[in-house]
Every structure is written in C-alpha cells, then in structure tokens.
C-alpha cells in the first residue's frame, strides 16, 4: 500500500511500540510494529508461551436494531441465525461478482446487537458495502477509531490473563466471548479467538485505557516470558494454520468456494450472490486454494507462478514463507482442481527455476 | 552497529574485504538487521565470471527476499558452504562466518572506488 507518512494513522500504543524498539512499518494506513526481538523468536514465543499483538488497526462496526440480524444474514455468507448471545462466527462478505469484499468475525452481543470485526484495509469498503444494503434502517456505528484490540496468544495466555479478571476464562469456549470487568475496566470484551492456532484471547477496550491495559498484561505475563509480537510473526503463525489473509489468499475476485470457505457459505439462507456460489458448489470449481510444502530448496512468495511437470503455468502462489515451527518452506496458492489432492506434484517458479513442491493438507502445523 | 574499518562498503549494503586480487563479499550488519531472520542464501554462480552490479545470488529472510549484487567484476571462486546449513550466520556474524562469496577480481581499482566505513555510516544515517 502506498501511503506517505503524513497520511498514516496512529494506534493508541504507537509510542509504546517505538519505545520497545519495534520496527514500525506502514500497514493498512497505520504505522504498525512488524517485529521487536526478531520474527523467529516472536513466533516461537507465541507457540510455546505467550505473546501480545497490537491489532488495534482492525475495524469494528456495531449493528443494532430490530433488523440487525436480517442485514447480517443478507451481507454475510455464514448463517448468523445460529449464533447465541456471546457467540462468534467467522464469515465473509461476498460481492455480487463472485469475489469477496472481506472476511470478518460476527459477534452476537444480544438478539438486537452485533459487532462485526473487519480487516483494517477494508474498513471503508466494508462500511460502504453494508450501508448500501442497509435498507431497513439498522443503526450502524463505526467504532474502529476508538477501540484498541490486543491479541494475547499462546498456551500461557489464559494463565496470564486470568490474573486480571474474576470472569472464569476457562468458561469461555473457542469462538465465544464475555463482556465484563477486566483490569478494573468495565465492558471489556474478552474473546476466545485469534489468528495463530496457539490458543489465547483477544481483548477489546477503549483507546484511553490502552497503556494501562498493555502494562497490566505484561506484568501478569512476566513469569511466563510474555513478549510483544509484530505483524511479521502474525503472518507466519496464521500461515502455518492455513488461515486465509485477505489481500493475499482471498480478494475481490476469489470465490469463497474456490478458497475453501465452503464451510462458512450456507445456502440455507438468502445472501449476496447466493445463486452463483451455489452453482459453483454444485457444478464444482475449476481451481482451488491449496496448501503446499517445498520438496526441493526454495521459499515460495506471494505472486510466484505455479507450474506443472511439463512447465505449463497452472496457478499462482498467494502466501509463502519459511515456517519457523516446521523448519520447512510452505505456501498456499490456487491450482486447477485436478492438482488439488494431497501429494499432487507441483513446481514453484523461483527466479526462473522450477522448484519441486507437493500439495499437502492444511493446517501445516498441528499442535 | 559495527562497521569494520578494514572493509569497503556498497550502496547495496554489502561489504568487501580485499586480499591482493581476491575479494571476500557479504552483507553488512545493517542489512542483516533490516532483512531479519535469514533462512536461505541462494547462490548458484560459483565458477561464473560476473560484471560489477550483476546479481550473484539471493538472500531470503522469513518475510523478504533480496538480490545480491557484485560489488566488483570478477570470477566467483568459492561460495560459503557453511551458509547451506547455517544461514543464520549472516545474522549472527555478518563479517565473519556469514561471508558469502570469494571473488577473483578483474580490476582491483573497482574495489578502491567503494565506500569506506565512515562514508557508509553516513549513507545509512548511523
């Protein structure tokens, strides 16, 4: 993303990150920490202990009123009607051309109030898209600018965070949340979600408490070796789990069916572009998003081409990295359905050379 | 950060250690810090004659990939085999165990024209 420093927005904890020696980079219009102690060290910290990501750049919308659920049902692909209070759902906003406006989390606060958590780079686009379809007067509020979000992730996260609240965190199942008193602050949303596959919670609270909250979490986690984690390790952690990243693996032109998001595309209800997506599901798709690992030496990167054994270009890499946990090079990309079975041989074009890889099942990393 | 006085430096953040008509080449401490954890050094030009500024290899960090450019013209005599198994040497010891190639220089004057440590420090604002 091309942004000059004058246009960059700041998260509440920007100075905290700078004082901790973070390498700061422009990301989705914000100056964000990409690394602190080093990507591999941060990655391992989250897998083995506990780390904290500032993801306050993410967007939050509140949808309220009689028809809030109806609007969410029409704009998202998953079935939000199955949500009970304090439950969360992964979903996406299909566009009317076969692609995806964004992927998001839907929180049911109560019967008539929902929170949508969207990607930072898509806040405006999502807002406009949902607003356009808001024909029944649902009250919509974009609270992104006032909310800070810390993802506290790793096997020790629950032990560290439990010190800061009387809410029993082990009573909050995966993809569930509670709202309550946390570190002396009312109405904090404590959500058993994340983007790492390492376990842990995401904590939503007002910007004004950001410094206090950060310090309390680090004090609570000190005995477990808690560390700040940048966006670099966030990307390697999510990729080891095979989680899609909007802008890389999914975008305005990729179909949720092709992207392997059929499990969040429910045809039992009406939603944007349902008919076309249903046809894809029934007739089958030409290409699919798959995970692969390198057999010969080389590291796949976003936009590298994928070839078959004869050298014909058959697809493109959407994400790739050296996996810090597995110590091998892994990636995801779109290939024709005929190459999508595990163990299919494919070749990644790295600097004009075809380097052998094989399709594997995701997640790459199994805890 | 350390920038030894006995080395020459390039705008591409490489260093050159001259021994007669032989040059040892690697990347600077600044460069390894910018790249982050290095996981693969891909050099397949051993034995080749390359011109000044030609690409002799690629260094891959977890998140980034960067080409390596010849700071001088010459023949690549040797590639540091140790980097195959320990690419992290480039992070830990960029001027020592992290060296990348040994080159027989075509024209030693090219090395003389490179930056001295003090000028390189100015370049990176150190």
pLDDT digits (tens, 9 = 90+) for A191-246: 999 999 999 999 999 999 999 999 999 999 999 999 999 999 999 999 999 999 99
ipTM of the complex: 0.86
CB burial of residue A29 (10 Å; 0-12, 13-18, 19+): middle
Closest CB from A40, A232, A301 relative to B65? A301
pLDDT score at A367: 78
pLDDT score at A1: 44
A148: number of Cβ within 10 Å: 23
CB-CB neighbors (< 8 A) of B61 in chain A: 39
pLDDT score at A2: 46
**Percent helix, strand and coil across chain B, each to the nearest 5:** 20, 35, 45
In angstroms, the CA A289 to CA A307 distance is 15
Instruction: Note the pLDDT tens digit of each residue in A324-355.
Output: 999 999 999 999 999 999 999 999 999 999 99
Domain-by-domain residue ranges, chain B?
8-108
A21: number of Cβ within 10 Å: 11
Instruction: Please check the confidence at residue A257 and state whether its pLDDT lies above 80.
Output: yes
Contacts of residue A107, defined as CB under 8 A and 6 or more positions apart, other chains included, come to A87, A88, A114, A115, A116, A117, A177, A189, A191
Contact A160/A79 with Cβ under 8 angstroms?
no
Mean pLDDT of A128-145: 98
CB-CB neighbors (< 8 A) of A322 in chain B: 39-40, 60, 62
Q: Is A300 on the interface with B (CB under 8 A)?
A: no
Mean pLDDT of A108-136: 98
In angstroms, the CA A185 to CA B64 distance is 40
Closest CB from A297, A324, A351 relative to B62? A324
Q: Select the residue from A32, A294, A296, A299 to test the B interface by mutation, using most B Cβ atoms within 10 A.
A: A299
Instruction: Please check the confidence at residue A357 and state whether its pLDDT lies above 70.
Output: yes
Mean pLDDT of A8-26: 96
pLDDT score at A167: 98
pLDDT score at A5: 52
**Min Cα–Cα distance to chain B from A321, Å:** 6
Mean pLDDT of A320-325: 97
A19: number of Cβ within 10 Å: 9
3.10.620.30, 2.60.40.10, 2.40.170.20, 2.40.50.100: CATH of B8-108: 2.40.50.100
H-state helical runs in chain A:
14-19, 39-48, 68-75, 123-133, 157-162, 210-221, 231-241, 274-283
Question: Which pLDDT band, with edges at 50, 70 and 90, does A7 fall under?
Answer: confident
Instruction: Note the pLDDT tens digit of each residue in A92-111.
Output: 999 999 999 999 999 999 99
Instruction: Please check the confidence at residue A4 and state whether its pLDDT lies above 80.
Output: no
* Beta-sheet pairing, A200-206 with A185-191: antiparallel
Mean pLDDT of A25-32: 95
pLDDT score at A3: 47
Closest CB from B37, B42, B58 relative to A38? B37
**Min Cα–Cα distance to chain B from A50, Å:** 20
Instruction: Please check the confidence at residue A284 and state whether its pLDDT lies above 80.
Output: yes
Q: What angle do CA A126, A130, A133 make, to 5 degrees?
A: 150
CB burial of residue A275 (10 Å; 0-12, 13-18, 19+): exposed
Question: Which pLDDT band, with edges at 50, 70 and 90, does A47 fall under?
Answer: very high
Mean pLDDT of A33-55: 97
Instruction: Please check the confidence at residue A300 and state whether its pLDDT lies above 60.
Output: yes
CB-CB neighbors (< 8 A) of A235 in chain B: 63
Contact A148/A12 with Cβ under 8 angstroms?
yes
In angstroms, the CA A269 to CA A74 distance is 8
Mean pLDDT of A289-315: 98
Which token pair is B7? Answer: 């080395």
In the DSSP assignment, the letter for residue B53 is T
1.10.238.10, 1.10.10.10, 3.40.50.300, 2.40.30.110: CATH of A286-362: 2.40.30.110
Are the beta carbons of A321 and B63 separated by less than 8 Å?
yes
Residue ranges matching CATH 2.40.30.110 in chain A: 286-362
Which residue in A322, A323, A357, A331 sits closest to A343, CA to CA? A357
Q: Select the residue from B39, B45, B66, B79 to test the A interface by mutation, using most A Cβ atoms within 10 A.
A: B39
Q: Is B66 on the interface with A (CB under 8 A)?
A: no
Full DSSP string of A279-305: HHHHH--SEEEEEEEESSS----TT-E
Mean pLDDT of A138-165: 98
**Percent helix, strand and coil across chain A, each to the nearest 5:** 30, 35, 40
Contact A264/A303 with Cβ under 8 angstroms?
no
In angstroms, the CA B15 to CA B24 distance is 8
Mean pLDDT of B84-88: 95
Are the beta carbons of A232 and B63 separated by less than 8 Å?
yes
Question: Which pLDDT band, with edges at 50, 70 and 90, does B126 fall under?
Answer: confident
Question: Which pLDDT band, with edges at 50, 70 and 90, does A6 fall under?
Answer: low
Mean pLDDT of A70-95: 98
Instruction: Please check the confidence at residue B63 and state whether its pLDDT lies above 90.
Output: no
The CATH number of the structural domain formed by A5-56+145-240 is 3.30.1360.120
**Phi, psi angle pair for B123, to nearest 5°:** -55, -45
Mean pLDDT of A241-270: 98
């Amino acid at each position: 993303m091309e942004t000059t420093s004058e246009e960059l927005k700041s998260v509440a904890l920007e100075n905290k990150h700078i004082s901790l020696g973070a390498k700061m980079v422009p990301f989705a219009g914000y100056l964000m920490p990409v690394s602190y102690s080093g990507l591999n060290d941060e990655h391992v910290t989250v897998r083995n202990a506990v780390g904290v990501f500032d993801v306050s750049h993410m967007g939050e919308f509140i949808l309220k009123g009689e028809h809030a659920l109806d609007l969410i049902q029409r704009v998202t692909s998953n079935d939000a009607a199955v949500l009970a209070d304090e439950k969360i759902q992964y979903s996406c906003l299909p566009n009317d051309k076969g692609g995806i406006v964004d992927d998001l989390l839907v929180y049911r606060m109560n019967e008539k109030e929902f929170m949508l958590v969207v990607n930072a780079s898509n806040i405006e686009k999502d807002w406009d898209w949902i607003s356009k379809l808001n024909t029944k007067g649902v009250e919509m509020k974009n609270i992104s600018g006032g909310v800070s979000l810390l993802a506290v992730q790793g096997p020790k996260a629950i032990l560290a965070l439990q010190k800061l609240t009387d809410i029993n965190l082990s009573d909050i199942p995966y993809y569930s949340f509670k709202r309550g008193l946390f570190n002396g602050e009312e109405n904090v949303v404590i959500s058993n979600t994340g983007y790492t596959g390492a376990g842990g919670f995401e904590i939503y609270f007002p910007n004004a408490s950001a410094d206090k909250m950060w310090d309390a979490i680090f004090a609570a986690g000190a005995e477990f070796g808690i560390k700040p984690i940048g966006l670099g390790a966030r990307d390697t952690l999510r990729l080891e789990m095979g989680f899609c990243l909007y802008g890389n693996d999914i975008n305005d032109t990729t179909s949720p069916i092709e992207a392997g998001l059929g499990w969040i595309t429910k045809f039992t209800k009406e939603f944007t572009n349902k008919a076309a997506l249903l046809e894809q599901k029934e007739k089958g798709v030409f290409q699919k998003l798959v995970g692969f690992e390198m057999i010969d030496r080389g590291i796949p990167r976003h936009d590298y081409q994928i070839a078959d054994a004869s050298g014909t270009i058959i697809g493109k890499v959407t994400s790739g990295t050296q996996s810090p946990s597995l110590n091998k090079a892994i990636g995801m990309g779109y290939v024709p359905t005929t190459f999508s079975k595990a163990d299919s041989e494919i070749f990644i074009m790295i600097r004009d050379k075809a380097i052998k890889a094989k399709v594997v099942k995701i997640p790459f990393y199994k805890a | 950060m350390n920038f030894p006085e006995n080395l020459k430096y390039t705008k591409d953040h490489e260093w050159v250690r001259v021994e007669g008509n032989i040059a040892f080449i690697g990347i600077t401490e600044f460069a390894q810090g910018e790249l982050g954890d290095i996981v693969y050094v891909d050099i397949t030009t051993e034995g080749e004659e390359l011109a000044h500024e030609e690409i002799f290899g690629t260094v891959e960090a977890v998140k980034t990939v960067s080409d390596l450019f010849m700071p001088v013209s010459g023949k690549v005599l040797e590639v540091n085999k140790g980097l195959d198994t320990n690419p992290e040497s480039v992070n830990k010891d960029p001027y020592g165990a992290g060296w990348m190639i040994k080159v027989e220089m075509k024209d030693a004057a090219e090395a003389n024209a490179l930056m001295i440590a003090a000028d390189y420090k100015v370049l990176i604002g150190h």
